[in-house]
Structure 1
Amino acid sequence: MAAGALIQGRYRLQELIGRGGMGEVWRAVDESLGRKVAVKCLKPVSTSADAGFARVLQERFRREARVAAALQHRGVTVVHDFGEHDGVLYLVMELLDGRNLLQVLQDTQGNPLPVPDVMDIAEQVAAALAYTHAQGIVHRDLKPANIMRLSDGSVKICDFGIARLGHDIGFTSRLTGTGVAMGTPHYMSPEQIGADEEIDHRSDLYSLGCVLYEITTGAPPFDLGDAWAVLVGHRDTVPEPPSTHRAGLPDELNRLILDLLAKAPDDRPQNAADVAGRLKAMRAAPFPTSVPAPAPDAGLPFWARDSALRAGGRRTTAPRAA
C-alpha cells in the first residue's frame, strides 16, 4: 500500500502511522462519510512456502475484525469496516488521537508514570476487561503496545488478534497451534506459557499486573536477557514487590499488583470488576491540593515525590535494561 491509494473506492490512505511484522496502519479518510479513520492492512505473504502461515495470519486478522466489531464499550477501539482489496485484507477502525503505553514509557526514558496516572489507567483498563470478559472474550495479548491513552485521558484496548472466545475454544486452539504459547513474553501468564487449555479471563488479569508493574516502576516484572528466561521467570519466580523499585508507592497499589501477579489463577483477583473496584477505592482517597517544595526530599509522601520528580527530572528507579 502507498499514500494516496484508494481502498474499495472509499478509504483514501494518507500517512503510514504504524508498521509491524504482519501489517501496517494508515491514517486515512473515509470519502463516503468525510471522516478520518485508521486502516490496518495485512501484508501479503510472498512465497508459496509460507502459504500455510499466511492462512493462519489471515484467519487471525478476520478474527480480530469479528471480535472487535462485536464489542461496544468506550474502553475498546471501534471497528467500522472489514474487507479485502486487491488481495490485501484491511480493517477500518476509529482514528485514535493519542499514544500507546509503550510510546508513553519511551517518552519518559524509562521513568515510571505518576501514581495518579497509573491508578487512572489501571481502572479504565480493568473496566474494559470486565466488559470484554462478560462477553466471553479473553484478550490474551494485553501489553503496553495494545493499550492506547488518548489526549483527553481516556484509555482504549486494541488488537484482539489472538483473543479466545469462551464458546470457541477448540477453534482458537487450532488457530494458534496446539502446544504453542501465544502472546508477548514479558506479559504472558504462567498458564499461557504452558499453552494450558484452561486459560480463562484471569490470564488477562496477570497480564494487567505486568503492565501496571512496568508503568509503576519503569520495567516489567521479569526484565531478563532473553525470551526463555523471561518465560521461566513468569512460571517459577516470585516477582520483587514494585515498592522495592519505587519508594513511597501506596501499599494498596503495591498489594494489588502483587495479587494480580500470583502464579495460580485461583490466587489472583477473580474478575476485572473487583480490580476496578479496588482501584476506584484507592483513587477516592483524598490527595492534598498543594504540593510541598521538593527540597531535601527523603520524607516526602508519594504524591509530593511524583511532582518533585516531574519538576526536577530525578529518578526513583533504575532505567530499563537495554
Structure 2
Amino acid sequence: MAETGLIQSRYRLIELIGRGGMGEVWRALDESLGRQVAVKRLKPVGPQHDRTFTRVLRERFRREARVAASLQHRGVTVVHDFGEDEGVPYLVMELLDGQNLSQLLEENEQHPLPVEHVVDIAEQVADALGYTHRQGIVHRDLKPANIMRLTDGTVKICDFGIARLGHDIGMSSRLTTTGLAMGTPHYMSPEQISGKEVDHRSDLYSLGCVLYEIATGAPPFDQEDAWAVLVGHRDTPPEPLRTHRAELPGFFDRVVLDLLAKAPDERPADAGDLRRRIVLGRTGEQPALGPGPLARPATGLPPAPRAKALPAWTRSMTAGRPATGSTPPPAGRPDPAAGLTGQWTAATATAPRTGSSVPAGPPAPDLLATLEGRHGAGIDLGRLGRWAEAAEVHREVAAERLRLLGPDHPDTLATRYEVAYTLGRLGRWAEALEIYQDVARARAAVLGADHPDTFVARYEAGISLGRLGRDTEALEVYRSLVEDRTRTAGEADPETLRARHGLGVSLGRLGRWEEALAEAREVCALREHTLGPDHPDTVISRREVAAGLGWLGRWREALVAYRQVAEARTRTLGPGHPQTLAAREDEAHCLERLAQA
C-alpha cells in the first residue's frame, strides 16, 4: 500500500501527523462518508520480529480498539472502525482539532498553563475518568501526551493501548525491567512501580502527576535518571504546588497532593469524588472530610505507602523477612534459637550488666508469651500493609522486651529490626538506617560478626543508604558484605549472590554501568550454574543484564537478553502470565529503541 494510498477502499491517507517507535497516525479522508478522520496503524512488521512479539503487539493494538470503541463520552476519543489492511492493523478515530498537554507545555516553553485552564482540565479529565472507571476500565498510562485539549476547550483522553478491563488478569501488571514499556516513569503510581495490584486509584495518581506538571511546569519528581524518578514516586513526599507557584488556589494544591498520596486508599475515593472537590473548590467551598477514603488515620505516624516494594528490575534486593541461618552462635554465647527460654534468660537474670535494665529475676512466662504474640501480630499487620499500626506495635513490644530482657537480647534486637523495617516501609529511611546500624553492631557483639542475622541487618542498612541517595556508602556496605558472605558461605551461596546483586545495582545508580553490567553477568552465570536457567533468581539477574545493556545503549544485545527472559517465563509461568507479558513488553521497548536509532 502506498503511503498516501487507500485503506480498504475507503480511508485515503492524506498527511502523516504523528509517529512513534511502532506506530503512526495519519490524517485521512473517509470517502464513504466524506469526513476527515485520524487513522492509527502499526508499522509493517519486519522479519526481525518473532511471532510471539508480533502477537503481543497486535493484541495490544486490538485492545486499544476494543476498549476505546466501548466508551461513549465527550471526554474520550471516539473510535469509528478497526481492521487490517494487507496484514497491517489500523484504527480509525475522530480527527481532533487541538493539541495534547505535552505540546501545550512545549509551545509555552515549559511554563505552566494558565490557572483557569489547569483547573478546567482537571475537572474535565476527572469527569471522563469517572465514566471510564464505571465501565470497569483503567487507563494505566495517563500522561500529558495522552490528554488532548481541543480548540473549543474540550478535553479528551486518548490512547488506551495498555488499558485493562477490571476483570482482566486480576488488574495485576508487573513493571517492566526498564520501567518504560508498561507506563511512563514520571506519571506512574507507586503500586504500578512495585508490581502490586492496580485499580482506578492508580489513574488518579497519574492524573495528579499530570496536573502537577501543567500547574507548575515540571512533574513532581523531575529527574532525568529513571531510577531516581521511580524512587521519588515510591519514597519522597512531593513539594506543595504553591511552593513553585503561589497564585494557585489552595484547594487545588490540596487536591493534587491528595491524588499523589503513596497509598491508594489515602487518595480520593474515585474520580467522581475528585470532580466534586474541584467543583466545590471553584465555588469557594470545601467538602467536610469525615470518616472514609479522604480521612487521614489518627496515629502518631504520618500517612505513608503500605506496600513500597522495589521496582521489578531490582526486586531481588529486598530482604523481606529476616533470614534464619545455620551458622552456630559463637562459643560461650546463648543460642538465639532458644528464644526466651533456657541459657540466655537464666544468664541475664542472674548476672545483669552494669546500667542494664534487666531485672534480677526471670520475667514471668505469661508476659513473655504475650509479647511474643504481639510481636507476631505486628508482623501480620505489616503483611496486610498496615505499616503505621505495625510500627506502633513493634515499638511497644521493643520497649517492653528491652525493659524485661535487656537491650542485647536476641528477641529485643529482633523486634528493633522490625521497627526499622516498618519505618522503611513508611519512608522514614534515616530513622530506619540508624536502627539497622545499631542492631547490626549489637548482633555482631552478641551473636558474632559472622552470624546470618548480623549480615541481614547490615544488608538492610545498605538498602536504607540507597534509599537516602547515599549510594557510595551503600556500595561499600555491599562490597564488605560480599566479602564476608563469600568467606563464610562461599561465592555461590544465595545470600552472597543477593549481596552482589545489591552491589551491582549500586554501581548502576552511581552511573558506573560497565562495572554494573559485569557484576550482573557474573551473578547471572553463578545463579544459572547453581540454581538452573529458569530459576526466578537467575531470570532476575538476566533482566539486570538486559537493563545494563539498555543503559549502555546496546539495544540489540539487550533484546537478546530480554527474549531469553521471556522464553524462561513462558516455560515456567505460561504465555499468558503477567510476568511473561511484561517480558514481551520489554522486547517491544527494545525494538522501539532500535527503530528510533
Q: In the superposition, relative to structure 1, how do residues 40 and 49 fare at CA in structure 2: closer, same or farther (>3 Å)? A: closer
Show the counterpart of 2:252: 253
Show the counterpart of 2:82. 82
The corresponding residue for 1:218 is 217
Which residue of structure 1 lines up, in the alignment, with residue 340 of structure 2?
A: none
Deviation at 1:164, TM superposition (A): 1.2
- Write the distance in 2 (CA, Å) between the matches of 1:2 and 1:284: 55
Query: Is 2:138 the partner of 1:138?
Result: yes
User: 1:208 aligns to what?
Assistant: 207
Q: Secondary structure at the match of 2:89?
A: strand
Instruction: Give the deviation of 1:87 after TM superposition.
Output: 1.2
Residue aligning to 2:183: 183
Match of 1:23?
A: 23
Query: For 1:182-212, what per-residue CA distance to the aligned partner results, in whole angstroms no more than 9, with x for missing partners?
Result: 211000000000121x210000000000000
CA deviations 1:117-157 (Å, max 9, x no partner) are 00100000000000000000000000000000000000000
Given that 1:26 and 1:38 are in contact with CA atoms closer than 8 Å, whether structure 2 keeps it comes out as yes
State how far apart, in whole Å, the 2-side matches of 1:94 and 1:3 are: 20
The 8 Å contact of residues 15 and 28 in structure 1, kept in 2 or not, is answered as: yes
Of 136-145 and 244-253, deviating more is 244-253
| Contact 1:179 1:195 (C-alpha < 8 Å) held by counterparts | no
Q: What's the counterpart of residue 328 of structure 2?
A: none
**More moved, 181-190 vs 264-273:** 181-190
* Greater percentage in helix: 2
In structure 2, C-alpha distance between the alignment counterparts of 1:238 and 1:147, rounded to whole Å: 25
Shift of 1:244: 1.0
Equivalent position of 1:289 in the other structure = none
- What are the equivalent positions in structure 2 for 1:229-308 lying under 5 Å apart? 229-285=228-284
What corresponds to 1:121 in structure 2? 121
Indicate yes or no: 2:182 matched with 1:157. Answer: no
- Aligned-pair CA distance for 1:285: 4.1
Residues 14-47 of structure 1, C-alpha deviations (whole Å, 9 max, x = no match): 0000001110000000000101100001112212
* CA gap 1:41/1:270 in 2 versus in 1, 3 angstroms: same
Indicate if the aligned counterparts of 1:179 and 1:194 stay in contact, CA closer than 8 A.
Answer: no
Relative distance call for 1:61 and 1:274 in structure 2 (3 A) is: same
Contact 2:175 2:193 (8 Å CA) reproduced = no
Question: 1:67 aligns to what?
Answer: 67
Cα displacement (A) at 1:282: 2.2
Contact 1:116 1:283 in 2 (8 A): no
1:11–1:28 contact (8 Å) kept in structure 2: yes
Whether the aligned pair in 2 keeps the contact of 1:193 and 1:231 (CA below 8 Å) is: yes
Residue segments in structure 2 that go unaligned for 5+ positions in a row: 286-597
Aligned to 1:310: none
| Residue 49 (structure 1) shift | 4.5
Could you say what the CA RMSD is over the residues aligned between the two structures, in angstroms? 1.7
**1:228 match:** 227
TM-score when normalising by structure 2: 0.46
Distance 1:9 1:188 in 2: 41
In 2: Cα distance, 1:217 partner to 1:20 partner: 27
Name the SS of the counterpart of 2:62 in structure 1: helix
1:300 aligns with: none
Distance in 1, Cα, partners of 2:272 & 2:214: 21
Give the aligned residue type for 1:233: G
Cα contact 1:25–1:40 (8 A) shared by 2: yes
- One-letter amino acid of the structure 2 residue matched with residue 275 of structure 1: L
Contact 2:174–2:195 (CA<8 Å) still a contact in 1? no
Query: Deviations 1:269-313 (Å, cap 9, x if unpaired)?
Result: 010001111111222349xxxxxxxxxxxxxxxxxxxxxxxxxxx
Q: Which residue of 1 aligns with 2:412?
A: none
**Shift, 1:4, TM fit:** 2.4
Structure with greater strand share of residues: 1
Write the letter of the residue equivalent to 2:57.
L
What's the counterpart of residue 464 of structure 2?
A: none
1:169 Cα deviation from its structure 2 partner: 2.2
Contact 2:98-2:150 within 8 A present in 1 as well: yes
- TM-superposed deviation, 1:178: 7.8
Counterpart residue identity of residue 208, structure 2: G
Gaps of at least 5 residues in structure 1 are: 287-322
How far did 1:2 drift?
A: 4.8
SS of alignment partner, residue 259 of structure 1 = helix
In 2, Cα distance between equivalents of 1:96 and 1:179 = 31
Distance 1:234 1:210 in 2: 10
Aligned-partner residue type, residue 86 of structure 2: D
Q: Distance in 2 between matches of 1:14 and 1:49?
A: 28
* Mapped partners of 2:212, 2:6: distance in 1: 42
The answer (yes or no) to whether the contact 1:45–1:51 under 8 Å persists in 2 is: no
Match of 2:37 in 1: 37
Alignment match, 1:292: none
2:9 is aligned with 1:9: yes
Aligned residues: 282
The 5 Å alignment of 1:82-101 reads 82-101=82-101
Residue 179 and residue 20 in structure 1: after superposition, are their counterparts in 2 closer, same or farther (change >3 A)?
closer
| Conserved? CA contact 1:16–1:26, under 8 Å | yes
Q: Is the 8 A contact 1:188 1:207 kept in 2?
A: yes
Quick check: 211-220 or 237-246, which moved more?
A: 237-246
One-letter code of the match for 2:268? P
Using the size of structure 1 for normalisation, the TM-score is: 0.84
The one-letter code sitting in structure 2 at the alignment partner of 1:31 is E
- Cα distance, 1:249 vs structure 2: 1.7
Counterparts of 2:221 and 2:231, CA distance in 1: 9
Shift of 1:3: 4.3
Letter in 1 for 2:58: Q
Say if 1:17 and 1:27, in contact at 8 Å, map to a contact too. yes
Which has the larger displacement, 134-143 or 248-257?
248-257
